[in-house]
Every structure is written in structure tokens, then in C-alpha cells.
Amino acid sequence: MASELLMMAEVLSTEKAVDKGIIFEAIEAALATATRKRHREDIDVHCVIDRTDGSYIPYRVWEVIEDDAELEWPLKQMCISAAKEHDPALEVGEFVREELVAEPFGRIAAQAAKQVIMQKVREAERNKISEEFEPRIGEMLSGVVKRQERGDTIIDLGGLEAVLPRNKMIQREGLRPGDRVRAILSEVKQNNRGPQLVLDRISPALVLALFRAEVPEASDNIIEIMGAARDPGLRAKIAVKSNDSKVDPVGACVGIRGSRVQSVSNEINGERVDIIKWSEDPAQFVINALAPAEVESIMVDEDKGAMDVIVDDSQLSLSIGRGGQNVRLASELTGWEINIMTDEQANEKLEEESSDVRELFMAKLDIDADVATILIQEGFSSLEEVAYIPREEMLEVEEFDESLVDELRQRADDALVTLAIQKEELLKGADPAEDLLTMEGMDETTAKFLAINDIKTMEDLAEAATDELLEIEGLNITEERAQELIMIARRPWFEEMGIDPDATDEAAEKG
């Protein structure tokens, strides 16, 4: 029996590529199970195998508990006073051990032991897969298509199978058994059969990984691939920068006669890849990202994270792209909301915005249209700017003298104070419910503004529409924030229906 235990541990460790210590632990657990069955009582048994000669000693164990504690398991527990008769040094929570006779097992006991061993080995194999691959989530893996299974594709990674779900495959990509493919490891999913490796071929991370593998300058950190955006199977954009002024990052990624970019394109089913030069200037980056369209001018709204890009009429369709593809990928790549418009459209928008600001200045500063227009032309768009921009800057306006500047600044300051008092008075009678006040992402001022407009509870907010919130006078809120608050308020609805709220939020963001 002793030599058989050592041989079993050696064979299983080699065949299953599992640490021998884990195999011994599994065998010890199996021997303990078989020993318990032989004694025909519900006792606790531990076994210890000698790693050198294969002999083992079974022990019966009792957990040590307080004298006044209830014995829930008389065959497995022992009071501290009784335990000290065995060993005076024992403390509560430790164990009393009594050596049992290591008798040979019969056929049934041996079979039970074998089942426990195999179960433990399978658990060890599963743990090994999880430990090896969970830190590698986000990495690119290479494998061979093995078979199709209910619309998904099973990929052989070299003795280990992974699944490429149908919704993570490039559309119209005809993968066949034997094809070699590369994909991003997106998840290590736990199920009844053990860990399942889940792959992804539509992630922008795949394009990044392919270029990093294909372009030696990227692996040497001479150039950096800063980001990617994809319309999987159709078109992608990547942003690159150079850490060496002598190296052209776009040319390095294109390769001689386009060899490198073509290699990447072939790997992702012929997807066209635009290589964009990254710029730390957001406006220039957006201009680069919209290539091959030519941009006439650009207006940046940092507060909204948006840019109005003005193009010639002849460039309008090219800049937007088929189905909005070009501007959508450029927006995703740069992280800015991009609004494409012609000169005429830009002028109409500017006039509309100027009209609102002009009316504000005329009403709150008590000035005529000419002075209000001068302020707008000089870049002033709010009362705060008039009140707080340094006096010296306002004096640089050709049409303004010192007395007019001081008067405008004082009137703007007075108007802001008046608005603050009016706002405070308006919100005094607001009585939002506790659930609205304490809702995730909510602040007291927003909650009070909602309350005075009959949105007093989370339920009220959940039933509201985005437009309703945007129309509330005095509530300075963006469309994105209004949508976010409404979705948070609706989460209890989704949870009650068994729908994942986070998945719903993600779907809402994608529109």
C-alpha cells in the first residue's frame, strides 16, 4: 500500500501537471474519507502520509470547545477540561488527536478513495487554470479553430479549450476547423465543469495587441500605440505617437509597401485600419482622427467635452462617413463628442447661442445690444466671466474705458448675488424624499430643484424623461447627467425584473 501511494502521487502529478503536494493532500483526504466509512460513525478523521516511504497514520480528531458550550457534535467535539487530560497545553479552538490503526482497505473503500482523489485532482486542475489565466485577462492568445458549438466557436489553445462566443466574433467571418486565429482573453468564467476561457475578436484591444506584435518599434517603446476604435470587420482607427523624433510612427505601423498594416488587416477579416498620429493638443488630435476629411476650423467646449468641427460642403459626407462611421470612430478614439457642421450651420448655431447670451447680458447688466455684442465678440459668455476675469483683460477691449469696465464688473457681481439669493429662496420650500436625497450620484441642490418641480422621490425620477429635467429652470445639468440620474433611479425596477442594471446602463450609453 505504501509504495502504491507514492507511485499514485508520482503518476498523477506527471499526467495532470499538478504539484505533488496537492496530490498528497488529495490522497490524504481520500484515506480520511475511507477511514470514516470503515468506522461507521460520523467522526472526523485526518490522515498524514510520510512523503518518503508512503506509510500513513490516520488520526481521529475532536475540536476543543468551552466547558459551558453546547456539544452540537458529540463525536467531533470535546470540552476543554476533558481535552486537557490528553494534553494540558491545549486551548479552545485547537484539536485533540488520537491515532487509529492504519488497516488495509477493501475494494469498496479503495474505490471511494479513488473517487475522492480524482475529484481533488480535478479541482486542482481547475484552480491551476484560473490562477494561470485570470492575471492574463486582456492579453492576446493564439489558437486553432477546433469546432462549432451552438453558434459559438471552440478554440484549441494547445491542450486547453476556449470559447469564442458568437457575439464576440467578427460578422461574416467564416472560421473553419483548422484555421489559426488570435483573440483577446476577455473573461475566465466559472461554471459547473470548471473555468471556461472566453475570447473576444471584436475588442479594440485586439487591434492594439496585433500592432504591438507586428511592429518591432512598438515592443521597443520607440513608438507608442495610444488607443484604438473599431467597427469590427469594417473599419478601425488607431492613434500612434513616436518617442524618437527620427521615427515616423505612422510609417512604422504601415510598414514597407503597407506590409505591417496589411498583416493586421488580414488577421481581422480584411478590416480597414486608419493609422492616426496622436497629438497632446485635443483639437489637433480630433483633426487628425477625422482624416482623410479636411477640417476648416474647430471650436472646443471643454465643459461639455465636445467639439464643433466645421468643414467645407464638399467634405461633409467624407468627414461623417457611411452611416456616421468616420465621425463615430474618431469620437471613440479621441474621447470627445464631435459635431460635424458646415460654415452655414456653424454660423446659425453661433447666432442662436449668441442671441441667448446677448439677452442675458442685456437683462442682467442693463446694457444695450451693442455693448452686449462687443462682450460676446470678445469671448464673454457668462456673468461669471464678466465679474471675475481680471480687470486688465477687460481694459484691453478697444471700445471699453475704465469706468465702463468697473461698472460692468459691479453689475455682473450684483446680478450673481441676486441670482444666488433668488435660488436660495426658491429652494427653501423644497422637500425631497430621503431616498432621492441619498441616491447614488445625487447632490442636495439638484434634489431640491427636482422636488420643487414635483420630482420628490426616486420613483418620481425613474418615471421622468430626460427632456423634463433639461427644461427645469435653474437646474444646470447636461443631458448625459440627466440620463445617468434617471437610470440610477430605475435600477430597482430592473433588479425586481431580474435584469442586470449595469448591463442596462451600458446598453443605454450605446444608445
Contact 291, 274 (CB under 8 A): yes
Do 361 and 482 have their domain in common? no
Kindly report, residue by residue over 21-67, the tens digit of the pLDDT: 777 777 788 778 777 877 777 888 888 888 887 778 889 898 999 98
CA–CA dist 66, 80 (Å, integer) = 6
Domains identified in the chain, total number: 5
Question: Is residue 206 domain-resident?
Answer: no
**198 has which bridge partners?**
163, 187
Residue 175 grid cell:
472560421
Nearest to 34 by CA among 129, 102, 119, 118: 102
Q: What is the dihedral of CA 71, 77, 82, 83, to 10 degrees?
A: -150
Residue 317 lies in a domain: no
The answer on 165 and 49 residing in a single domain is no
Per-residue pLDDT at 124? 74
- Indicate left, alpha or beta for 507 from its phi (over 0: left) and psi (-120 to 50: alpha): alpha
- Express each pLDDT in 57-69 by its tens digit: 889 898 999 988 8
Q: Mark which of 131, 149, 172 sits at the end of a domain.
A: 131
Separation of alpha carbons 288 and 239, rounded Å: 9
| Enclosing domain of residue 236 | 216-278
Q: Name the least confident of 8-12, 97-101, 235-239, 313-317.
A: 8-12
Has residue 425 got a pLDDT over 80?
A: no
Same domain, 26 and 59: yes
For residue 51, what pLDDT is reported? 81
Least confident of 347-351, 370-374, 400-404, 490-494: 347-351
In order, the DSSP letters of 176-199 are -TT-EEEEEEEEEEEETTEEEEEE
Let me know the angle formed at the C-alpha of 423 by 435 and 405, rounded to the nearest 5 degrees. 145
| pLDDT surpasses 70 at 500 | no
pLDDT grade for 217, boundaries at 50, 70 and 90: very high
Reply yes or no on whether the pLDDT at 325 is more than 70.
yes
| Residue 195 contacts residue 129 (beta carbons within 8 Å) | yes
510 has pLDDT over 70: no
Last residue of a domain, one of 247, 278, 309: 278
Per-residue pLDDT tens digits for 89-129: 888 889 988 888 776 655 655 566 567 667 777 777 777 88
Find the CATH number of the domain harbouring 397: 1.10.150.20
Q: Are residues 424 and 350 in the same domain?
A: yes
Asked if residue 330 belongs to a domain, the reply is no
pLDDT for position 119: 74
pLDDT tens, position by position, 430-464: 888 999 989 988 888 888 888 888 898 999 999 98
Which residues partner with 289 through β-bridges? none
Return the CATH number at 94: 3.30.1480.10
The domain that holds 164 is classified in CATH as 2.40.50.140
Lowest mean pLDDT among 11-20, 158-167, 199-208, 463-472: 11-20
For residue 211, what pLDDT band results from cuts at 50, 70 and 90? very high
pLDDT at residue 337 greater than cutoff 70: yes
351 domain-assigned: yes
Q: Looking at the domain assignment, is residue 112 inside a domain?
A: yes
Task: Confirm whether 307 is domain-assigned.
Answer: no
pLDDT at 165 over 70: yes
290 located within any domain: no
Cβ-based neighbour number of residue 341 at 10 Å:
17
The whole-chain average pLDDT of the chain stands at: 85
286-315 pLDDT per residue, tens:
999 998 888 988 888 887 888 989 998 888
Put simply, whether the predicted model's pTM sits higher than 0.75 gets the answer: no
Neighbours of 73 (CB within 10 A): 12
Enumerate long-range contacts of 502-508, CB under 8 Å, 24 or more apart: 508/483
- The last residue of one of the domains, among 428, 444, 467, is 428
Instruction: Give 37's contacts (C-beta < 8 A, 6+ positions apart).
Output: 109, 112
CA angle 345, 285, 334 (to 5 degrees): 85
Q: Quick one: cell of 187?
A: 473573461
pLDDT score for 194: 77
Question: Are 458 and 436 a contacting pair, CB within 8 Å?
Answer: yes
439/457 Cα distance (integer angstroms): 10
- 505 pLDDT above the threshold of 60: no
The answer to whether residue 291 sits within a structural domain is no
